[in-house]
């Protein structure tokens, strides 16, 4: 296969297709919501997830102060909100109002969730590392929830509106087409029956 080189600054886009999320944060009288694509699971036990946040973001200040954040997983119906929350700062405007999304109470932390999202991960900050020009906030998961019927250990991906949205880079997004189980797993399960 012939390969072509791409700019180093675009290398991340080759592995960029995890779900794009809306990170919510809250400190004193300020609540905020910000789009983030650089999000990753980090550990099963304890359950840890990481988000890479640039220090210039208002979200960065709120998470540093409150030591809590939530990861909200939007579907395709929130594409416009994802763009708004990723281009405007909460320092200047109430992005929940501007993007037409609804803040609702979380189960375990004092940070609003985005009602219209498909799933939510509530986190308590346990570590923060400077990584180049971003900070990797490590959150311990204290609660996780998802819309009933669309997730059974993994996303079902049955209906377009019930699929997480993925960010390819720039103004490009994608939805996963369908769920595929590896043949070896199916055989093992059949053997186990």
Ligand X SMILES: Cc1cc2nc3c(=O)[nH]c(=O)nc-3n(C[C@H](O)[C@H](O)[C@H](O)COP(=O)(O)O)c2cc1C
Which parts of this chain interact with ligand X (CB under 6 A)? 20, 32, 34-38, 52-54, 57-59, 86-91, 134, 167
Q: Is 131 exposed, middle or buried (0-12, 13-18, 19+ CB in 10 A)?
A: exposed
The DSSP symbol for 44 reads T
Least distance CB 128 / ligand X (angstroms): 13
Least distance CB 51 / ligand X (angstroms): 7
Question: Three-class SS string for 54-103?
Answer: CCCCHHHHHHHHHCEEEEEECCHHHHHHHHHHCCCCCCCCCHHHHHCCCE
Decide whether 64 or 156 has the Cβ nearer to ligand X. 64
Q: Per DSSP, what are the bridge partners of residue 39?
A: 51
Least distance CB 16 / ligand X (angstroms): 9
82 touches 116 (CB < 8 A): no
Decide whether 136 or 156 has the Cβ nearer to ligand X. 136
Start-to-end C-alpha separation, the chain: 41
Decide whether 156 or 166 has the Cβ nearer to ligand X. 166
Least distance CB 179 / ligand X (angstroms): 24
Residue with smallest beta-carbon separation from ligand X = 86
Decide whether 53 or 111 has the Cβ nearer to ligand X. 53
């Amino acid at each position: 296969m012939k390969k072509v080189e791409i700019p180093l600054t675009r290398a991340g886009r080759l592995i960029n297709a995890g779900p794009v999320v809306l990170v919510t944060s809250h400190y004193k009288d300020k609540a905020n919501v910000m789009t983030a694509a650089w999000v990753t699971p980090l550990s099963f036990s304890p359950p840890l997830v990481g988000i890479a946040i640039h220090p210039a973001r208002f979200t960065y200040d709120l998470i540093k102060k409150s030591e809590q954040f939530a990861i909200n997983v939007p579907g395709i119906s929130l594409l416009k909100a994802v763009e708004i929350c990723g281009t405007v700062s909460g320092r200047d405007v109430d992005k929940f109002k501007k993007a037409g999304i609804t803040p609702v109470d979380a189960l375990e932390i004092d940070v609003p969730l985005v009602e219209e999202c498909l799933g939510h991960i509530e986190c308590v900050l346990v570590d923060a590392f400077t990584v180049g020009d971003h900070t990797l906030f490590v959150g311990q998961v204290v609660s996780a929830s998802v819309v009933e019927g669309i997730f059974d250990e993994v996303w079902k991906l049955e209906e377009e509106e019930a699929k997480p949205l993925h960010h390819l880079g720039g103004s490009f997004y994608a939805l996963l087409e369908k769920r595929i189980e590896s043949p070896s797993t199916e055989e093992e399960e059949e053997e186990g029956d």
